[in-house]
Amino acid sequence: MAEPVSISAKIKISEENYKKYLRKVSQDIASSVFDCIKNEDSNYFVFKYVKKENAFYAFFFFNYGNSDFLLHHSLLHNLKQIEAYLDQESIGYIIANVNAYNCAKADLIFAAKIKNKKISAARFSSKETNEFWNDAAKYFFEETETDFYTAFLFKQIIDKSIVKKVEKLQEEHRTQTLKNSLHTATLEQPIEIFANYFYNGITFYTVELNEITSFVNVNLQELRKTDYGLRDDSSIIIGNLRIMIRDGAKFKKHQRASMRYYASLETVYSSSLEAYPNSDGASFKMYSEYVAEDHLHIYFVGQQFLKTDVGDYKINSCGYYYQNIVLYSAKQIRVGRIVINGIDEASFSIISEIAGMLVSNSRSDLSHFILHCKDKNGELIIRERNLHKPNVVVERISSLSNYLNNLEKKNKENSLTYIPGKFYEYGVEKYYTGMNQWLKKYFEKEYQKNIYSAYLHRGFNDYFYCCFQLYLKSNDTIHFEKAIVLFDKIEKTCFVEPFIFHNIACIYTALNFLDKAIESITAAIYCGYEGIDLIWDDIHLKSLFIHPQFILIKEYYYTYASQYPIIDEPLLDMLNTVITESSPITAASYPSPIRDTLYRVLQNFYIPDYNLLSNEEKHPWRKINPKITLFLNNAFCHHLSQLGYIELYNQYKNYEVINAKTHYYAMVAFFRSAHFKYRMCAHSDYLSIADKIKDLIAKNKTTAEIIELEKEIKASPINKILNIL
């Protein structure tokens, strides 16, 4: 399994001998640093001489790796080469660690000590590994608050001689790519000029996450990488954003932790390159990740306001999240971007400087921000319940202890809302009891709100399992009464979690309702229950084994459905109902509540292709073809995320029922994938889909759907790049 790993070393050595060693390895180190910067792969390196300690320190952090990766890495070999330059007094260590965020002895897959001018294998004590961790905290992790490229340029985390070699490699790469290779770029083979920035012979563009953006009139010959992004002779490009600017050489990034601003000599810009009105870039200074200033303004967690509106201010950062950082003065109180009213600002003070999260004893209160304060009118609480929908509330209180006692009672009541899905946390008896309370108080509301949620139905399935386990323990069928009532209410939506049918079959069998049990097993097959093989040998279904219908179902399964369950009309009706009633997947709604169900059906079911059906007009599958058409196209267009999309589309792309809009959505997905580092398709793949779209549009030019699709494609960023229409 790949995870963050590291190689590090600290070695006492004279500066003279360090420089001799550096001359030996600097070019190799520079090549590794250059690759790290060019690929933007979240690696982070420190390589420098610490004069105060007369020691050389290196830490190479890799976002992905394993023991084999570390043991054979060139940088580990480079560190070992220091042996030829050691002093008689040299001491230190070289380690390779499969857990970059820890320094436990068990995680060190390479450990060597330096002594007597030799590097030799060693077993370090816990005390020694703690010292190594302290070194990492001091010389590496403190630096990582700044992104690697900015730190590389401005914070001297890499020896200056290596920096010069890296800059030379960058310029050689830029020259080679921009001046010697641009003419080779084509639609089929675009050139990646910088990480995530491409040129296809016609258009310069970027593909980042879900954003596809093209840029016009970029001077590619002058385009160069900076610590903030890219610049040419007239503009700045950061991500998929661009601003025109006269003097890009003096444009700067200001960053502390994850808070970021940009500034030219005249203007201050937000992280999304929006210019702050009347700002002054020349006097702009960032004091912390929360506060920055220019000569007229304060910039607080990304928001600008006049200094005269606030006066002298203080910051309380115990809320951790930006939305909960408090700026307060005798004139104004702000929590994040919200100005708080109803408090006397002049007498306001914070009682608990470490309030942060005073209460977090249940999921319902996790992430709450609670601050204990006072003004001339008494004690008060400032709180926020939801980081995603900021709603800061001021509550006057008699005392903190009374407030917390009342809040704890309320939390215990609210925590019941979250019982479904927490079986492994609660155990059988506690989960059964809690779910009975939940069903009584919350079922109607939550079920209607999440009617097709696989997560909620897994919670129901856990409840049915608990009912059956309690029956096995007590031999009392009383636990089944509420289970049957619940199943009757949710039976029509259990196809989103077919495991339910297995547990219900066991319950019906225990009650000797054998026909009902057979119906549940049949439903499990038709709904694609992936554990169907477990049914045939389940001892709790033993009394069904000689039932004629059970024997027929088992024979049917192994004859027709063991490899792929065959989709049928009732399931299609349910799926199309789900799709019709569910909102299309968006950034806000991701993940789609029905996504798991759609993936399971598309991956595991046999769905017939109209092209392969018999020519007989009365063929039974012809009847359901319109429903298959509706299901496939709606699923691909509106409810599937990028994960696994390509494999599914390849499975169905030649079906006659797949329409032009579905092919268009697939083309966009393929386009994104082909431009990522770990791509799963070639550029020719999305170009062939584009040809298919053109053919389908030409054949159906006058239909309303095609007319709307043409408008959508013509307005899309990808059309500017590929010129589809």
Mean pLDDT of 62-83: 95
Q: Are residues 389 and 446 in the same domain?
A: no
Mean pLDDT of 7-30: 97
The band of 617, judged by pLDDT with boundaries at 50, 70 and 90, is: low
- State pLDDT tens for residues 425-434: 889 999 999 9
Q: Are residues 447 and 586 in the same domain?
A: no
Q: Are residues 15 and 156 in the same domain?
A: yes
Contact 42, 63 (CB under 8 A): yes
Phi–psi pair at 596, nearest 5 degrees: -60, -40
- State pLDDT tens for residues 511-523: 999 999 999 999 9
The band of 49, judged by pLDDT with boundaries at 50, 70 and 90, is: very high
Does the structure show a pLDDT above 90 at 546? yes
With respect to residue 580, please indicate whether it lies within any of the assigned structural domains: yes
- State pLDDT tens for residues 407-464: 777 777 666 666 787 788 889 999 999 999 999 999 999 999 888 888 899 999 999 9
Q: Are residues 449 and 376 in the same domain?
A: no
The band of 586, judged by pLDDT with boundaries at 50, 70 and 90, is: very low
Question: What is the C-alpha radius of gyration for the chain, rounded to an integer number of angstroms?
Answer: 32
What is the distance, to the nearest Å, from the Cα of residue 343 to the centroid of all Cα atoms in its chain? 39
Q: How far is CA 254 from CA 251, 437, 576, in A?
A: 10, 53, 51
Tally of structural domains, the chain: 4
Domain, as residue range, for 637: 569-722
What is the distance, to the nearest Å, from the Cα of residue 456 to the centroid of all Cα atoms in its chain? 22
Q: Are residues 535 and 623 in the same domain?
A: no
One DSSP character per residue, 22-67 reads HHHHHHHHHHHHHHHHHHT-S-EEEEEEEGGGTEEEEEEEESS--H
Last residue of a domain, which of 109, 135, 160?
160
Q: What is the pTM of this model?
A: 0.79
Q: Are residues 586 and 671 in the same domain?
A: yes
With respect to residue 647, please indicate whether it lies within any of the assigned structural domains: yes
The band of 8, judged by pLDDT with boundaries at 50, 70 and 90, is: very high
Residues 6+ apart with CB under 8 A from 552: none
CA angle 634, 640, 644 (to 5 degrees): 130
Q: 230: part of which helix (H) or strand (E)?
A: strand 230-231
Q: Are residues 370 and 496 in the same domain?
A: no
Q: Are residues 626 and 669 in the same domain?
A: yes
| Residue 80 amino acid letter | K
**Cβ-defined contacts of 588-597 (< 8 Å, 24+):** 590/641, 591/641, 592/639, 592/640, 592/641, 593/450, 593/452, 593/453, 593/454, 593/455, 594/452, 594/454, 594/496, 594/639, 595/639, 595/640, 595/641, 596/454, 596/496, 597/452, 597/454, 597/495, 597/496
Residue 722's DSSP bridge partners are none
The band of 620, judged by pLDDT with boundaries at 50, 70 and 90, is: low
Q: Give residue 579's pLDDT.
A: 83
Q: Where are the alpha helices (DSSP H) in 475-568?
A: 479-490, 499-510, 514-526, 532-535, 548-556
CA separation for the pair 298, 292 (Å, rounded): 6
Length of the chain: 725
CA separation for the pair 445, 452 (Å, rounded): 13
With respect to residue 222, please indicate whether it lies within any of the assigned structural domains: no
Does the structure show a pLDDT above 80 at 686? yes
Q: Give residue 367's pLDDT.
A: 46
Q: Give residue 366's pLDDT.
A: 41
Last residue of a domain, which of 160, 176, 199?
160
Q: Give residue 598's pLDDT.
A: 86
Q: Are residues 500 and 525 in the same domain?
A: yes
- What tokens were used for 498? 């077919």
CA separation for the pair 384, 319 (Å, rounded): 10
Closest alpha carbon to 675 in 56, 32, 174, 192: 192
Q: Are residues 604 and 674 in the same domain?
A: yes
Mean pLDDT of 155-170: 93
| Residue 161 amino acid letter | S
Q: 706: part of which helix (H) or strand (E)?
A: helix 704-714
Beta-carbon count within 10 A of 350 CB: 17
The band of 565, judged by pLDDT with boundaries at 50, 70 and 90, is: confident
In whole numbers, what is the pLDDT of the chain averaged over residues?
A: 89
Q: Give residue 414's pLDDT.
A: 67
DSSP tag of 563: S
Does the structure show a pLDDT above 90 at 77? yes
Q: Give residue 71's pLDDT.
A: 96
Portion of the chain with pLDDT greater than 90, in percent: 64
Q: Give residue 69's pLDDT.
A: 95
With respect to residue 713, please indicate whether it lies within any of the assigned structural domains: yes
Q: How far is CA 42 from CA 8, 35, 239, 296, in A?
A: 17, 11, 16, 37
With respect to residue 230, please indicate whether it lies within any of the assigned structural domains: no
Last residue of a domain, which of 484, 513, 545?
545
With respect to residue 165, please indicate whether it lies within any of the assigned structural domains: no
Q: Are residues 434 and 360 in the same domain?
A: no
SS3 letters for 403-466? HHHHHHHHHHHHHHHHCCCCHHHHCHHHHHHHHHHHHHHHHHHHHHHCCCCHHHHHHHHHHHHH
Beta-carbon count within 10 A of 258 CB: 10
Q: Give residue 590's pLDDT.
A: 40
Contact 550, 518 (CB under 8 A): yes
Mean pLDDT of 263-279: 97
Q: Are residues 9 and 156 in the same domain?
A: yes
CA separation for the pair 439, 421 (Å, rounded): 13
Contact 287, 293 (CB under 8 A): yes
- State pLDDT tens for residues 623-682: 888 999 999 998 888 767 666 788 899 999 999 899 999 999 999 999 999 998 777 789
Contact 35, 167 (CB under 8 A): no
- State pLDDT tens for residues 83-116: 999 999 999 999 999 999 989 999 999 999 999 9
The band of 606, judged by pLDDT with boundaries at 50, 70 and 90, is: confident
With respect to residue 283, please indicate whether it lies within any of the assigned structural domains: no
With respect to residue 443, please indicate whether it lies within any of the assigned structural domains: yes
- State pLDDT tens for residues 303-323: 999 999 999 999 998 877 788
CA separation for the pair 95, 109 (Å, rounded): 8
Does the structure show a pLDDT above 60 at 358? no
Cis peptide before 591 (omega within 30 of 0): yes
Q: Where are the alpha helices (DSSP H) in 244-335?
A: none
Mean pLDDT of 688-694: 96
Q: Treating both helix axes as pointing N-terminal to C-terminal, what angle do 660-674 and 683-699 enclose, rounded to 10 degrees?
A: 160
